[in-house]
């Protein structure tokens, strides 16, 4: 069968495949202000679009529209979407097979302080077995591997039975609006792979997250008469301690086979103007991560966690006369559902078989953070897994790089799985 020659063909084309990834890394696709101020994704999308057209994909190019995605919990509205198109390629199958979405984001975070980089952030060159440059790991290598797997299939003359859909999305670093726009446009399939870096490990679940902003008021005056004032920072810390009690309760009672326990992080604490002034206001910003529940709807899980947080804040408020009379203002300013695909699902089992064949074993785990898998799974009703190349610890850092051997192996993994999942005409 043709698939027996996959590895040989990939090795023959290795240098051209590396060149394609290098070209993508050398192209600036940074988001600006986490997407609020826009982004430079269009230049990278031109490269993806051209390659997909060469491979015979039907192209759908469209920008994110707030009016269309605002119905999704966690949509990040108010971003500058102009000139930042999604590119979706569809390769129609002959029929009778399962459809597959390959989803990757073209945008990167900014490179930050140029002086801290030992090499050009847009180098895109191989040094000692690593391809260096911004976005190499997160996640231009995996996105390139998706496209190049389709090239391998074409070069082998293979005709798929099921449809293959490749989504190169924008604004993932801004919260995932690009994939939401794909789901809203109607893209769904029998299965999906998100190419976030996993070191070729198979991830079948990730945490949900909620960002809270808590504003607490106090009574300001000179610190020499401290007892006459109300210190807003002290009151905020009382609320924070109540939240940490909730975290401890979760850690004792919540368990998941593949994921760590739920956490609440205090990331911002702002209040006061001087050491001599009792602060009359304090703002806390927290991020909590919670576990998926297989036998509970995603929205119900989110709502339960929200209620538990508000109950914990309420306990602190009820115990303090000032807070009871002047309750804090609490709002959620960003969120994302948890997601999980059962381990016995054919998508998971199919990829496990592919990894066993190519890597002589499969590592199955969960993602402690979150990604666009939740959008495809929850809103798109598409069973989803996460698998890509590169170490996630190399994301959003200086001197970002990805191992060449992982990149090449990922092309092989994607190619084998596409063939087995979508089916082929002999």
State pLDDT tens for residues 303-350.
999 999 999 999 999 999 999 999 999 999 989 999 999 999 999 999
Please state, rounded to an integer, the average pLDDT across all residues of the chain: 95
How does pLDDT run across 144-187, given as a tens digit for each residue? 999 999 999 999 999 999 999 999 999 999 999 999 999 999 99
The band of 386, judged by pLDDT with boundaries at 50, 70 and 90, is: very high
314 burial via Cβ count (<10 Å: 0-12, 13-18, 19+): middle
pLDDT at residue 3 in the model: 44
Q: Give Cβ neighbours of residue 413 (< 8 Å, ≥ 6 apart).
A: 200, 354, 355, 358, 359, 387
Indicate whether 426 pLDDT > 70.
Answer: yes
This prediction has a pTM of 0.93
- Cα–Cα distance, 145 to 166 (Å, whole number): 11
How does pLDDT run across 59-84, given as a tens digit for each residue? 999 999 999 999 999 899 999 999 99
Indicate whether 189 pLDDT > 60.
Answer: yes
The band of 280, judged by pLDDT with boundaries at 50, 70 and 90, is: very high
Segment 265-289 mean pLDDT: 95
How does pLDDT run across 91-101, given as a tens digit for each residue? 999 999 999 99
Question: Which structural domains are found in the chain, ordered by start?
Answer: 2-205+338-422 (3.40.630.10), 208-336 (3.30.70.360)
pLDDT at residue 394 in the model: 87
Sign of CA dihedral 259, 389, 194, 212: positive
Assess contact for 36 and 78: CB atoms under 8 A: yes
Indicate whether 2 pLDDT > 50.
Answer: no
Secondary structure of 222-258 in the HEC alphabet? EHHHHHHCECHHHHHHHHHHHHHHHHHHHHHHCCCCC
pLDDT at residue 14 in the model: 97
Segment 366-370 mean pLDDT: 92
C-alpha distances in angstroms, 286 versus 211, 230, 244? 6, 23, 11
The band of 425, judged by pLDDT with boundaries at 50, 70 and 90, is: confident
Assess contact for 338 and 292: CB atoms under 8 A: yes
Assess contact for 146 and 52: CB atoms under 8 A: no
- Cα–Cα distance, 176 to 189 (Å, whole number): 19
Neighbours of 124 (CB within 10 A): 22
């Amino acid at each position: 069968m043709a698939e027996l020659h996959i590895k040989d063909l990939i090795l023959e084309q290795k240098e051209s495949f590396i060149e394609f990834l290098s070209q993508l890394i050398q192209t600036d696709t940074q988001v600006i202000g986490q997407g609020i101020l826009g982004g430079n994704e269009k230049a990278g999308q031109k490269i993806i679009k051209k390659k997909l057209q060469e491979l015979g994909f039907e192209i759908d190019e469209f920008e994110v529209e707030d009016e269309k995605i605002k119905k999704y919990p966690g949509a990040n509205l108010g971003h500058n979407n102009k000139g930042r198109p999604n590119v979706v390629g569809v390769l129609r199958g002959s029929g009778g097979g399962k459809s597959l979405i390959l989803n990757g984001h073209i945008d990167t975070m900014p490179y930050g302080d140029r002086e801290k980089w030992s090499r050009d952030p847009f180098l895109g060159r191989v040094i000692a077995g690593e391809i260096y440059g911004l976005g190499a790991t997160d996640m231009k290598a995996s996105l390139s591997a998706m496209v190049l797997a389709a090239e391998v299939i074409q070069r082998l003359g293979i005709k798929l039975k099921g449809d293959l859909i490749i989504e190169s999305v924008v604004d993932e670093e801004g919260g995932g609006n690009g994939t939401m726009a794909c789901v809203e446009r109607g893209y769904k399939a029998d299965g999906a792979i998100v190419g976030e870096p996993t070191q070729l490990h198979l991830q079948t679940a990730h945490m949900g997250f909620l960002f809270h902003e808590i504003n607490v008021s106090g009574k300001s005056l000179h610190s020499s008469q401290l007892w006459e004032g109300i210190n807003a920072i002290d009151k905020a810390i009382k609320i924070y301690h109540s939240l940490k009690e909730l975290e401890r309760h979760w850690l004792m009672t919540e368990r998941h086979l593949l994921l760590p326990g739920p956490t609440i992080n205090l990331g911002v604490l702002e209040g006061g103007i001087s050491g001599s002034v009792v602060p009359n206001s304090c703002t806390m910003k927290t991020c909590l991560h919670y576990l998926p529940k297989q036998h509970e709807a995603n929205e119900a899980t989110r709502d339960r966690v929200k209620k538990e947080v508000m109950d914990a804040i309420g306990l602190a408020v009820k115990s303090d006369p000032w807070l009871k009379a002047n309750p804090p203002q609490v709002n959620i300013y960003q969120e994302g559902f948890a997601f999980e695909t059962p381990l016995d699902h054919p998508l998971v089992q199919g990829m496990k078989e592919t990894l066993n064949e190519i890597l002589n074993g499969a590592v199955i785990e969960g993602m402690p953070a979150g990604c666009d898998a939740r959008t495809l799974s929850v809103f798109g009703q598409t069973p989803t897994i996460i698998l890509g190349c590169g170490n996630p610890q190399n994301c959003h850092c200086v001197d970002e790089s990805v191992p060449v051997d992982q990149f090449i192996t990922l092309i092989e993994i994607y190619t084998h799985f596409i063939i087995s999942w979508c089916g082929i005409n002999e």
